[in-house]
Every structure is written in C-alpha cells, then in structure tokens.
C-alpha cells in the first residue's frame, strides 16, 4: 500500500505512544538513554501536538512513523552556538520523530515530506543519537551548531546538535 503523511488524530494516540516507547528502547540500546529517558515525550504533550495540528504520521495500512512539524519561529532555535545556514525568514521545525519497528526508512520519508513543505527545515538531536545523526547526514542536513533546551530554566539546560537544510 502507498504511504502518505497525514495529521495525527486522537484515535492514533495509543499506537503513536507505542512507537515512542519503541524508539526510547532503541535509543537506550544504542547508548542514547538520556535523550528521551523513560517517558519523553509524555502523552499530554503528544495530545497537545495533535490538538494544535502539529503532529503527523506516515501511514498506509498501519502507522510507520510519527513526528512534529510546523512552520514557526521556535524559541529553542533563537540562540545557537554556531550559525544557521539561513537565519532570516520562515522555516519548518521537526521534533519528536520516531518510527515503528517494522518501518525502516520511514524517517527519511518523513524528513523529505517536511522539506517539501517549505524548503527550509531545522531539527536538532542529542549528540549520542547516532541513528539520527546518520539519517540527517544522508538527507543532506548541515550541522550548524549547538542549541540548549531549557534556556529559561538554568537547571534544565541540555545541549542538542542543531541542523538545517535549505
């Protein structure tokens, strides 16, 4: 069956949360247990993503992948140790991308869809996320620098490697 990207619905929520649980397990097995820990992303955050129309799935007969996408000014990307390829203008933001166990290659399809929406996409990941780092390199993303999550809560500062494709 042909796979398409569509907005996530609340009816998809249980399957989406299973995909995130699988992704957390894979991260942990690959030595990246810190990025999402035991519970990230929490169900309430994904429900909010769905309600605001920013959660998407790649699906055919079943859901292959889930991700957050919006063309928006993300405050997390306001300060970077480095430089964006294109610092001005609208850009798409990808967060919380994860694939189901059966769906190898789904991440590339999701990123291609995001790029097709606006031609300027920013994304970040943990420096220990070897799978995502490799995917971003294969998809032509350029490493631009380091951003810090939790800029408004000094105790929660957490570095991420930031990428952009234009």
Q: What are phi and psi of 109, to 5 degrees?
A: -65, -40
pLDDT band at 37 (very low <50, low <70, confident <90, very high): confident
H helices present in 31-145, as ranges:
43-51, 106-118, 130-138
Q: What phi and psi values does residue 164 have, to the nearest 5 degrees? A: -145, 150
Q: Checking DSSP bridges between strand 121-125 and strand 92-99, what pairing results, if any?
A: parallel
Name all domains of the chain by residue range, CATH numbers in brackets: 4-165 (3.40.630.30)
pLDDT of residue 25: 94
Does the pLDDT of residue 153 top 60, yes or no?
no
Does residue 150 carry a pLDDT above 70? no
Contact 47, 97 (CB under 8 A): no
% helix, strand, coil for the chain, step of 5: 35, 30, 35
151 pLDDT more than 70: no
Taking the alpha carbons at both ends of the chain, their separation in whole angstroms is 31
* pLDDT at residue 116 greater than cutoff 80: yes
Residue 6 pLDDT level (bands cut at 50, 70, 90)? very high
The pLDDT-based confidence of 33 (bands split at 50, 70, 90) is: confident
């Amino acid at each position: 069956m042909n796979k398409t990207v569509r907005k996530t619905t609340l009816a998809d929520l249980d399957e989406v949360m299973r995909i995130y649980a699988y992704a957390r397990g894979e991260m942990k097995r690959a030595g990246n247990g810190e990025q999402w820990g035991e519970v990230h992303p929490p169900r309430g955050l994904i429900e909010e993503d769905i309600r605001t129309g920013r959660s998407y799935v790649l699906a055919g007969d079943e859901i292959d992948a889930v991700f957050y996408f919006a063309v928006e000014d993300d405050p997390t990307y306001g300060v970077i140790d480095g430089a964006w390829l294109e610092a001005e203008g609208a850009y798409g933001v990808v967060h919380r991308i994860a694939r189901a166990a059966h769906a190898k290659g789904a991440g590339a399809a999701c990123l291609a869809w995001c790029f097709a929406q606006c031609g300027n996409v920013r994304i970040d990941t943990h420096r220990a996320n070897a799978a995502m780092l490799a995917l971003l390199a294969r998809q032509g993303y350029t490493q631009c620098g380091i951003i810090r999550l939790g800029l408004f809560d000094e105790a929660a500062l957490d570095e991420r490697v930031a990428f952009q494709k234009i």
